Amino acid sequence: MKWFRSSLLAASGTIAIITALPAAAAVAATPSTSDGPGSSGARNAVFVQTNDPAGNTILAYHRGSGGGLTPAGSYPTGGLGGTAVQAPVDALASQGSLVYDSGHALLFAVNAGSDTVTVFRARGDQLVRRQIVGSGGQFPVSVAVHGDLVYVLDAGGQGTVAGYRIDDGRLAPIANSARTLALGNTNPPLFIAAPAQVGFDPTGSDLVVTTKNHNQIDVFGVRPGGSLSAAPVVSPSAGPVPFAFGWDRAGDLLVTEAGTGTVTAYRIGAHRALHVLSRTTPNGQAALCWFQNARGFFYGANAGSASLSSFRVHGHSVALVAAVSANTSGGPIDLAASRGGRFLYVQNSGAGTIQGFRVGASGGLTLVTTVTGLPVFDNGGMEGIAAV
């Protein structure tokens, strides 16, 4: 497998990521199970989305006590994977395409190629498919959950967020909940023009969307019935190409900026405008996109540098801890942490691997497992990972 180091260029609000893409690899699958009632919830498991345009599938792995992964099943979503236009190594160019909701023991998977979302019930490391529902727009890429509310971000066309309520393990659309982002994209969208993530704030009163090279962050108010304010409050991003985000213990918003390898901390104001609290120094890596909290630290995947960076929040200030906390296989994209943050898992779409790291008390990462033979980016490729 031959790789050229990726480079990221921020100019006129666009990014070019240059990579050589390896050939596709086969994935061994086991029979999927049928639908059924009840669940005791996911335990000691990692779930990976193949995002195959010919038929999307979730691969399940049992997580051992030392962080190692053992194949535990293969579950078709009943939908199709998709690929954004000119995507370099991340077919969906998003975070949150596969989301586990521990409160309801449900796993939500987007099917970007068929404009649907699949709902699975989780039982240990096993899945039971419960529902396939329309996403409310075109090219779904990210899912947000808070309590009984679910919002889906569609990246195609104008861009849409659409709301659902969880009812008996299924999604029921919320009337008049869909809102446009007015992005003017194509379908499928150009990867760098597509919105990257949707997420609720910790209180569930705000819904946030990042918009990459539109260089803005949208904040909707969430009404008591679950619908949204008529339009978002739009704030400019402090850095170019806002991508993934998370929340610190104080409830402040932390956003990665792929154009500069930085993270900005924001406070959401009374009128939903964003106020910058702090910004890290650049990490010197290429394409800082995905973001995951584990054991009090935040880790970012640098798709163009095959590395992970670490960050920490002190008070209301976010700081870079290590530009390279660990090197990875080619094309690291989405990240997930086990319950309690003891293990961090990364998808490497360029190499077709999953790597697991033990998270140390001081934030250091130690490689404990590598799973090979997963789909490699080639006009499609795995994207989406969840760990419990």
Question: Residue ranges of the chain with pLDDT lower than 50?
Answer: 1-39
Q: What pLDDT does residue 380 have?
A: 79
Closest CA to 212 of 256, 265, 266: 256
Cβ atoms of 316 and 326 within 8 Å: the answer is no
Homologous superfamily of the 8-19+41-387 domain (CATH): YVTN repeat-like/Quinoprotein amine dehydrogenase (2.130.10.10)
Tell me the HSE value of 73 on the side-chain side, using a 13 A CA sphere.
20
- C-alpha distance from residue 190 to each of 16, 137, 151, 159, 386 (Å): 12, 16, 22, 12, 25
Q: What pLDDT does residue 15 have?
A: 37
Among all chains, which residue has been given the structure tokens 């795995």?
382
Predicted structure pTM score:
0.90
Residue 362 neighbours by CB under 8 Å, 6+ apart:
none
Among all chains, which residue has been given the structure tokens 């535990």?
72
Q: What pLDDT does residue 7 have?
A: 34
Cβ atoms of 241 and 259 within 8 Å: the answer is yes
Residue 188 neighbours by CB under 8 Å, 6+ apart:
82, 83, 84, 85, 112, 139, 155, 156
The tokens for 248 are 């610190």
Give the strand pairing for 116-124 and 297-302: unpaired
Cβ atoms of 227 and 221 within 8 Å: the answer is no
Domain boundaries, the chain: 8-19+41-387
Per-residue model confidence as pLDDT tens digits over 355-387: 999 999 999 999 999 999 999 998 778 999 999
- C-alpha distance from residue 38 to each of 46, 59, 73, 124, 127 (Å): 20, 21, 19, 12, 11
The separation between CA 70 and the C-alpha centre of its own chain, rounded to angstroms, equals 23
Cβ atoms of 88 and 137 within 8 Å: the answer is no
Q: What pLDDT does residue 378 have?
A: 85
Per-residue model confidence as pLDDT tens digits over 260-308: 999 999 999 989 999 999 999 999 999 999 999 999 999 999 999 999 9
